[in-house]
Amino acid sequence: MMAAVSVDPRITGALKRRGLAIHRTCPTKDLMFGGLSAADERLFYEAMRRYSVRLILRAMVAHQDCFSPEDLGNFSAERSREKTIGLLADIGIIETFDGSFRLAKRPVRSFGPTLEWFVARMMSDRFDAPSLWATTFRGIDSGGDFDVISFFEDELVYIEVKSAPPKGIETGEAGAFLERVNTLLPRAALFFVDTELRMRDRVVLLFHQEFLERMKDPYPPRPDLRNLAGEIFHIDHRIFILNAYRDAEANFTACFRDFLARGLSVL
């Protein structure tokens, strides 16, 4: 079993000041792995930093009871795919089965919880921001869990994590994200879709629609949703919509730098 995750007191303090009490956080039962040593968990995290590996992992979850290398798609070169399979077999995430492979830990309901774990680990590892994943609170109206909550630059930052491609993002998900933002009251919030596909054709339009529906004026202006760079968009430099195109960490960095520049720049 994985060790229980200790909650950074700076996060619990910030939540208490907002009247929020944690009911559950960082559950391990829905992750696609369990019982890894610290060294093997590090190897798995480092592998997940590559978008092609995350696509392979998503395919493994979809075929978790039995899959061959061919079932994993052509998301990377054959040699790279074989290297990934070998690593996952070595650390015990997959096992051989009837001439093929299967997940060692089954069933796994979706890749989403493991992706949330990865983003929380990335925030802690790459941005020195203590983080929680899949957190629920007692006695609040907004449903579902809060994907990733981080303590960044002495402030709470919230990250919604989507493993589905843009066409799989449902109409109400932008509204649910904004409801969680209103509950958590973070200094900044990110809506992250783990894809290299365009965001403006689907996800950005959903946010436009959601803001229009929330406005009371019968002829409201379009929300101030602007392009930051590539497929990264922002609302008032505090709410960001981004994907993983080119590099997820670089895109997160672009969002954080823009957010910090609004408050810290002397120009």
- pLDDT, mean of each 10-residue run, the chain (267 residues): 74 96 95 96 98 96 95 84 95 95 96 98 98 95 87 97 93 91 95 95 88 64 82 94 96 97 64
Q: In angstroms, what CA-CA distances link 259 with 111, 254, 263?
A: 29, 9, 7
Q: Residue 187 is inside which H or E element, if any? A: none
User: C-alpha dihedral over 129, 133, 138, 144, to 10 degrees?
Assistant: 130
Owner of token pair 């596909």: 197
The pLDDT value recorded for residue 143 is: 66
Residues of the chain with CATH 1.10.10: 38-103
Class of CATH domain 112-264: alpha beta
Write down the residue that tokens 């958590």 correspond to. Answer: 184
pTM (two decimals): 0.93
Enumerate the β-bridge partners of residue 133: 148
Among 89, 157, 88, 70, which Cα is nearest to 119's? 157
Beta bridge partners of 225: 235
What pLDDT, on a 0 to 100 scale, did the predictor assign at position 146? 97
> What residue has token string 């798609």?
73
232's torsion region: left (phi>0), alpha (psi -120 to 50) or beta? beta
Contacts for 70 with CB less than 8 Å, ≥ 6 apart: none
C-alpha span between 26 and 131 (Å, rounded): 9
Give the architecture (CATH level 2) of 38-103: Orthogonal Bundle (1.10)
Q: 111: which 2 tokens?
A: 């890749």
**CATH 3.40.1350 residue window(s) in the chain:** 112-264
Per the rule left: phi > 0, alpha: psi between -120 and 50, beta: everything else, 96 is beta
- Alpha-carbon distances of 169 from 36, 142, 174, 194, rounded to whole Å: 32, 18, 9, 11
Burial (CB < 10 A; 0-12, 13-18, 19+), residue 19, is exposed
State yes or no: cis peptide before 220, omega within 30 of 0. no
Position 1 scores a pLDDT of: 43
**β-pair partners for 227:** 233
* pLDDT value at residue 267: 46
Phi (first) and psi of residue 159, to 5 degrees: -130, 120
Instruction: Report the pLDDT value the prediction gives residue 6, as an integer from 0 to 100.
Output: 83
